[in-house]
Chain A
């Protein structure tokens, strides 16, 4: 009966669940790392760990959310509420900082897409792919796990290659979540301008959202703003200009 209740009131269960994880993470942060590792970084890592366990347990694609009593996690962590909360963080953001970094932010989106694409495409070539469609699709996946399948579908890539492109994007997004707080100091990620550049270069909205949340929540609106343009720009460039360049190079 309790199980049924937790499933029926899924979203409320998810609130309780996330609250408990957060409490435990901040407790760990304070007592185990003496505040060196931010509580939200631990909470996000714990979320990813639980997603892994959920995947092992159910064999599904939605991590912990495939476990029936945690189905509300899918709604709470879904794109609708995520975007709603991201937009809310913009309230009170510094308009002048955004204007100042506006053009660099825009430039970083294009550079970020091309950079990740080139890296992904080179890895695809290194692994023996030699047709332009597969190389382009895997390169696009290294941008984000949405750009990959959109490009693959547009070009008619095989489903194996599309799956690889999604996986590459997933690896990227998860790494960005985990690594951002660790490298923030070394890459100067401590002001609105660099946060906008960071969002534009990384592009994966979930990665940027998680990474900045664990680094400095005040920077979230600046990074998120540029990051949300990335997938669109990627879907624009990858199946067109970037594909033509790859086809020209591969012959």
Chain B
């Protein structure tokens, strides 16, 4: 049943966002801390449980794959509802701060991911 997959996905999201809110409250910040990330991990863990009691049929899986494939169209809709005017017309301070933050972050990616690859090679050597 396709709806089983959709229901599992919904359960993961509600659980994750709730946990993220709790985590935020524990840390004393008025924000959700990693709710979506927690939900993703939960979905991965649940879908990797390969025992007989909990097994998704391929129809159930297609309920999840549908939403996974809807991701890009949803992102297009998300782009279409951004406050682009505010971003463009907010003055130089905001533009420069945004541009520099992106440039510096991009520049650091290769450094840090190389770090992860090196570490990974070390593990093989050991």
A interface residues, Cβ below 8 angstroms from B: 14-15, 17-19, 21-22, 40, 43-52, 54-56, 61-65, 70, 73-74, 76-78, 81-93, 95, 98, 100-101, 104, 107-108, 111-112, 115-116, 119-120, 123-124, 127, 138, 141-143, 146-147, 150, 154, 163-164, 166-177, 179, 183, 187-189, 193-194, 197-198, 201-202, 205-206, 209-210, 213, 217, 220-221, 224-226, 228-229, 231-233, 235-236, 239
Contact = CB atoms under 8 A, between A and B. Distances in A.
A197 B85 CA distance: 30
Interface string B74-112: 111111111111111011111111111110111111101
Contact of B68 (A49, A89, A168, A202): A89
A76 B77 CA distance: 6
Interface residues of B, number: 79
Contacts of B74: 18, 76-77, 81-82, 85
A187 B109 contact: yes
Contact of A220 (B37, B48, B71, B120): B71
Contacts of A174: 82, 84, 87
B110 A188 contact: yes
B73 A87 contact: no
B117 interface: yes
B41 interface: yes
Nearest to B117: A193
Q: Counting chain A CB atoms within 10 Å of each CB, which of B9, B17, B84, B85 scores highest?
A: B84
A194 to B, nearest CB: 4
Nearest to B98: A171
Q: Counting chain B CB atoms within 10 Å of each CB, which of A100, A169, A229 scores highest?
A: A229
A43 B34 contact: no
Contacts of B13: 83-84, 87
Given A47-B77, A64-B81, A107-B112, A116 B105 contact: yes
Interface in B24-78: 24, 27, 29-37, 39-41, 43-44, 47-48, 61, 64-68, 70-78
